[in-house]
Amino acid sequence: MPDLSRMRRDYDRQGLREEDLAPTWVEQFDRWFGDAVAAGLPEPNAVVVATADADGAPDARIVLVKGYDEYGFVFGTSYASAKGAQLAVNPRAALVFPWHAQQRQVRVTGRVERVGDRASDDLWDPRPRGAQLAAAASLQSTVVDSRDELVARLRRLDADTPDGKLPRPEVWGGYRVLPDVVEFWQGGADRLHDRLRFVRDDAEGGGWVVQRLAP
């Protein structure tokens, strides 16, 4: 068993200073996301999505963000999944983009809303048929007796539907996380990390302020 207390990697990349920050959070995210893609990070759009139920019990999982703009981050899932049920009663979420190779994180908190049917179709249609079959055949987050049962469901659905793409099930669609806070975290030597965050300031007409956090 390795000694976890001694597992440590120092951070040696250039820090993050206020004068280097982009004017808006989405422009700064563009920069860092572009860096992650250019560096060849595996699935740079993978993000941890944390939600909570009506009692405040937390839950988290990794999904793939399929779009973002100045309004927020979009991903698709089953509305009947665990996260869908949690978002129905507590429509807030936290996101973490864990770009370890870049010694960076981006952390987001905000409200969550469903996107419209057309936007959900735009998320569903590019998926390969196999991924569409899996999403349509699986009752996400429910207990199943075995993997064989899942495979049998998928094969029956494949046999019962025409070749080509499947229509989007009504239970599947997109969510948008509308940020209230977006934090850019850059690892620093001796754990003196740089943490700069954009915070929505509704008192100033919905503008944003930049704050530095202690590491």
31, 155, 156, 191: the catalytic one is 191
Residue 210 is which amino acid? V
Q: Is 195 known to be catalytic? A: no
Q: What residues are annotated to the active site?
A: 191
